[in-house]
């Protein structure tokens, strides 16, 4: 049986790939993220996370996007 693990993008280790679940953020932010390509079902790779609650850099398709730590915590992903 395959064990599925759900964690937030902030907790995901650098270099790991994942599938994005429904973001748990507010409507405005969710929409912005979706327009930039971060939406449910998309595959993503976390490039890095800065220490001290710094931003998270994630690659979705051909785009790299940097997100604040708070946002990254609201985006749940499946490993």
Partner 1 sequence: MKRIVLMGNPNVGKSVIFYRMTGIHVIASNYPGTTVGYTKGDFTFPSNIPVSPESRFQPGERCEVIDAPGVYSLEPSSRAEEVAVDILKSADLVISVVDATNLERNLCLTLQILEKNIPTVVALNIWDETKHLGIHIDPVKLEEMLGIPVVPTVGVTGEGIRKLAESLNDAGSGNHPARTREDRWLEMGRIVSSCQHLTHHHHTFLQRLSDISVHPVIGLIMAVLVLFLSFKIIRFIGESLIGYVAEPIFEGLYAPLLMKLSGVLGPGSVLHHILIGKLIDGEIDFIQSFGVLSTGLFVPLGMVLPYIISFYLVLSFLEDFGYLPRLAVLLDGLFHRVGLHGYAIIPTLLGLGCNVPAIMGTRILEGRRERFICATLISIGVPCAALQAMIFGLVGERGGRYVATVYITLFLVWLILGFILSRFVKGYSPELIIEIPHYRLPPLGPFFKKLRVRVFGFLREAVPIILIGVLVVNLLYAVGIFNFLANLTAPVITRLLGLPKESIVAILVGFLRKDVAVGMLGPLNLTSKQLVVACTVLAMSFPCIATFTILLKELGVKDMLKSTAIMLTTSVIVGTILNQVIRF
Footprint of partner 1 on this chain (CB under 8 A)? 28, 31-37, 39, 47-55, 57, 61-71
Residue 24 or 61 having the CB closest to partner 1: 61
- 23 class by beta-carbon count within 10 Å (0-12 exposed, 13-18 middle, 19+ buried): buried
C-beta of residue 25 within 8 angstroms of C-beta of residue 71: yes
Q: For the CB of residue 3, give the shortest distance to partner 1 in the complex, in Å.
A: 28
Q: For the CB of residue 42, give the shortest distance to partner 1 in the complex, in Å.
A: 10
Q: For the CB of residue 78, give the shortest distance to partner 1 in the complex, in Å.
A: 19
Relative to beta strand 6-8, strand 76-78 is: antiparallel
């Amino acid at each position: 049986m395959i064990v599925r693990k759900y964690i937030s993008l902030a907790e995901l280790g650098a270099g790991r790939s994942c599938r994005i679940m429904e973001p748990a953020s507010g409507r405005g932010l969710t929409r912005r993220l979706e327009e930039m390509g971060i939406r449910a079902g998309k595959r993503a790779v976390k490039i890095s996370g800065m220490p001290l609650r710094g931003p998270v850099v994630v690659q979705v398709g051909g785009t790299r996007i940097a997100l604040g730590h708070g946002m990254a915590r609201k985006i749940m992903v499946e490993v």
